[in-house]
Amino acid sequence: MEFYKYTGAGNDFILINNYNGELPDLSEKQISFLCNRRFGIGADGIMILKKHPDFDFEMEYFNSDGSGGTMCGNGGRCIVAFARKTGFINDYAKFIASDGIHEAYILNDNIVKLKIIDVKKIEKISNDYTCYTGSPHYIRFCSNIGSSNVYEEGQKVRFSDKFKNEGINVNFIEILRDNVLKIRTYERGVENETLACGTGAVASALTYAEINNLKSGEIILNAKGGRLVVNFEKKNNGFENIWLSGPADFVFKGIINPPVNI
C-alpha cells in the first residue's frame, strides 16, 4: 500500500489515495499499527481520499487508535494539499467530510485556507466553555500554559462523567495579547497532547471572540507545532464564514504492507 506523510503545524497524518476504490478497508488494529510511532509509520491519524459523485473528493478520517474520527481541521488542510499533489485538484477544492461540505484554497508557501462549518452556539460550563466545530471541544483559559500538565489535566476532563462516553478534545488557552493566543490541546482518539489541533484552534478562537464580543476579525493561535489563523464573522448569535489557515507540508511517501493477522 502506497502512503504519503503530511504535517499541518505539527499535526501529522498518513494520507492514502483510494479514489478508485481498489484498496480494502483497514481494520481498527491496522490503523492503530500504522499510526504507531515505534512499530508503524507514526501519525496522529489517517485520512483516505475517496471518490464522490458531487465533489472533488470525500475525506474519510480515523484517529490514531483506529476509531472513526469526526472532522479534523489540520487534516482537512493536509488532504487538500495531498489532492493537489496527486492531481485531483489545482488550487481550489470542494469536498465532503463527516461534518458536511468544505471549501479550501491553496495559497503561497504551502498555506492552505479551509472553510469550517458554521458554529451556532458556545456553551459555558462553570468557568470553561464547549464548542462544536466539526469535532467537540472543551476550552479552558489559563495563565502560563507552558508549564501546564496538559496530558493529566486533559484526561481529567476527557474522561469525566459528562464526557467519558463520547469523549471531547480539551484546549488550554493563554491570551498573549489582543487577538493572539497560545494553545495546547489534548485530543481524544490520540489520547495525548498533539502539537496542534485545527478544529480546536477554531473553537478556541471563536470562544475568545464570544467573550470579547468581537463581530469579525482574525485571531492568531500559536501552537507547539506552528501558527494557525482563524477568520470569522458573527451573525445571528452564531459564527459564519469561518476559515482556518496554516501550513500543510508534504514530508515523505513510501510503501508498507499492513499486517493481516492483528
Give the pLDDT score at 258: 87
CATH 3.30.420.40 fits 122-247, yes or no: no
DSSP secondary structure letter of residue 259: -
Could you read off the pLDDT of 100-133 as tens digits, one per residue?
A: 999 999 999 899 999 999 999 999 999 999 999 9
Beta 136-141 vs 128-132: how paired, if at all? Answer: antiparallel
Domain residue ranges in the chain: 2-107+248-255, 122-247
> What pLDDT, in 10s, does the model give residues 185-234?
999 999 999 999 999 999 999 999 999 999 999 999 999 999 999 999 99
According to the model, what pLDDT value does residue 83 have?
98
pLDDT classification of 32: cutoffs 50, 70, 90: very high
The model's pTM:
0.95
> Is residue 66's pLDDT more than 90?
yes
Kindly tell me if the per-residue pLDDT of 260 is higher than 90: no
Q: Is residue 261 pLDDT above 80, yes or no? A: no
Q: Any catalytic annotation for residue 78?
A: no
Confidence of residue 68 (pLDDT cuts 50, 70, 90): confident
* Residue 178: Cβ within 10 Å count: 10
Rounded to whole angstroms, the Cα distance separating 148 from 143 reads: 9
| 2-107+248-255: CATH number | 3.10.310.10
| The C-alpha cell that represents 158 in the structure block | 476527557
Q: How far is CA 152 from CA 156, 174, 194, in A?
A: 6, 18, 13
Q: Of these residues, 72, 78, 131, 142, which one is catalytic?
A: 72
pLDDT at 209: 98
- Per-residue pLDDT reduced to its tens digit, 131-187: 999 999 999 999 999 999 999 999 999 999 999 999 999 999 999 999 999 999 999
The C-alpha atoms of residue 180 and residue 170 are separated, in whole angstroms, by 19
List 35, 78, 131, 197, catalytic entry: 197
Is 197 marked active-site?
yes
Which among 139, 26, 136, 17 has a CA at the least distance from the CA of 83? 17
Q: Which of 250, 249, 230 is nearest to 240 (CA)?
A: 230
Q: Is there a shared CATH topology between the 2-107+248-255 domain and the 122-247 domain?
A: yes
